[in-house]
Amino acid sequence: MVGAYPVTPGQAIGRLLDWYDRHRRPLPWRAPPGRRPDPYHVLLSEVMLQQTTVATVAGRYEGFLARFPSLAALAAAAPADVLHAWQGLGYYRRARALHACAQAVALRFDGALPRSEGALRALPGIGAYTARAILAIAFEQPTVPVDANIARVLARRHGIETPLPGALKELQAQADALASLRRPGDVAQALMDLGATVCRPRLPRCEACPWQSACSAHATGSAERLPRRATRPQRPVRRGLAFLLTRQDGAILFQRRPESGLLGGLHELPGSPWLAGPLSLPASLEHAPVAADWRLAREPVIHGFTHFVLELTLAEARTERPPPGLWCPPHRLHELALPTVMKKLLHRAGLRPGPSNR
What DSSP line would sit under 306-332, residue for residue? SS-EEEEEEEEEE-SSPPSSEEE-GGG
Is 198 an interacting residue with respect to ligand SF4 (CB under 6 A)?
A: yes
Mark the segment that binds ligand SF4 (CB under 6 A) among 37-45, 60-68, 83-91, 214-222.
214-222
Q: How far is CA 253 from the centre of its chain?
A: 29
Contact (CB, 8 A) for 317 and 245: yes
Only segment of 40-48, 197-205, 316-324, 348-356 that touches ligand SF4 (CB under 6 A): 197-205
Is 212 near ligand SF4 (CB under 6 A)? yes
Residues touching ligand SF4, count (CB under 6 A): 14
Query: How far is Cα 199 from Cα 63, in angstroms, rounded to an integer?
Result: 30
Task: Report the amino acid identity of residue 250.
Answer: G
Q: Which is nearer to ligand SF4, 143 or 216 (CB)?
A: 216
Task: Tell me whether residue 45 or residue 216 sits nearer to ligand SF4 (CB atom).
Answer: 216
- As measured in angstroms, the least distance from the Cβ of 53 to ligand SF4 is 20
Identify which range of 27-35, 136-144, 207-215, 295-303 contacts ligand SF4 by CB under 6 A: 207-215
190 binds ligand SF4 (CB under 6 A): no
Residues 146-175 that bind ligand SF4 (CB under 6 A): 153, 156-157
Of the residues 204, 271, 339, 353, which one makes contact with ligand SF4 according to CB under 6 A: 204
Does 206 bind ligand SF4 (CB under 6 A)? Our answer is yes
State the nearest-atom distance from the C-beta of 206 to ligand SF4, in Å: 3
State the Cα–Cα distance between residues 233 and 305, nearest whole angstrom: 14
Contact call for residue 196 and ligand SF4 (CB under 6 A):
no
> For residues 87 and 212, which CB has a smaller minimum distance to ligand SF4 in the complex?
212
User: According to the binding rule CB under 6 A, does residue 211 interact with ligand SF4?
Assistant: yes
Comparison of 194 and 328: residue with beta carbon closer to ligand SF4: 194
CB of 352 to ligand SF4, least distance (A): 41
Looking at the chain, list the stretches that DSSP marks H as alpha helix, in order from N- to C-terminal side: 9-23, 39-49, 54-67, 71-76, 79-85, 93-108, 117-121, 128-137, 148-157, 168-177, 184-197, 216-220, 281-285, 340-348
* Burial bucket for residue 26 (CB in 10 Å: 0-12, 13-18, 19+): exposed
Residues 222-241 that bind ligand SF4 (CB under 6 A): 223
Q: Residues in the chain, how many?
A: 358
> Which span sits near ligand SF4 by CB under 6 A: 45-53, 63-71, 95-103, 201-209?
201-209
Between 34 and 73, how does the x/- string for binding to ligand SF4 read (CB under 6 A)? Answer: ----------------------------------------
Per-position DSSP letters for 64-101, written without gaps between them: HHHHS-SHHHHHHS-HHHHHHHTTTS--THHHHHHHHH
Tell me phi and psi for residue 328, to 5 degrees: -125, 125
Active-site residue, 46 included: yes
Name the DSSP class of 271: B
Question: With 0-12 CB in 10 A as exposed, 13-18 as middle and 19+ as buried, what is 163?
Answer: middle
98, with CB counted inside 10 A (0-12, 13-18, 19+), is buried
Binder of ligand SF4 out of 12, 48, 179, 209 (CB under 6 A): 209
Could you give the 3-state DSSP secondary structure of residue 107? Answer: helix
The residue ranges that bind ligand SF4 (CB under 6 A) are 153, 156-157, 198-199, 204, 206, 209, 211-212, 215, 217-218, 223
| Active site residues per annotation | 46
